[in-house]
Amino acid sequence: MRCPYCGKLDDKVLESRTMVNGESIRRRRECLFCGYRFTSYERIDEKPFMVVKRDGQRRQPFDREKLEKGIIRALEKRPVSTAMVEQICNDIEDLAIKQGKEAREISTSALGELVLEKLYDIDKVAYIRFASVYRHFENLEEFMTEVKKIKKKSKGGSNE
């Protein structure tokens, strides 16, 4: 480790301490040349889970907050608790990581479908709200087609 005071590379570790639930190590060091004491931190540099955008080229780190905002927006003024929203987000995040485990990435379309599946089970109005944005409904007919699909599934499920 290079001394921040004199720039020499020789130092000794005086003390090591595990920090933040074992996710990093804090080390107190002393330069063997000038005696200056300084602190260094070690953390695991984990490759982030990525989301592949619609164009198939751009990627960005998975953002749980962005996922949560979309779900909250779809569930706005619906009888769904904050705890349930948290659970939905946890479930979707877990499923996304399982699906993209090998490549450490998932497409936005696959992620959107996971959200739609969860919302369909929880609240049909929230499902329609999310689907209308996610699937880019261009006109009323597309919107009505989706609503009819829900009606048909609901009627089919109640007969069993």
Tokens for 94, please give them.
């877990």
Paired residues of 31 in beta bridges: 11
CA 32 – CA 52 distance, rounded (Å): 48
pLDDT tens-digit map of 39-95: 998 887 677 888 888 887 899 998 889 989 999 998 888 888 888 888 888 888 888
What is the reported pLDDT for 33?
95
Kindly write down the DSSP assignment for every residue of 22-39, as one continuous string.
Answer: GTEEEEEEEETTT--EEE
Q: How many residues does the chain have?
A: 160
Nearest to 117 by CA among 132, 105, 128, 127: 127
Q: 44 near 23, Cβ under 8 Å? A: yes
Kindly state the average pLDDT of the residues 87-108.
85
User: What letter does residue 48 receive in the DSSP assignment?
Assistant: P
The string of pLDDT tens digits covering residues 136-157 is: 667 677 767 777 777 677 666 5
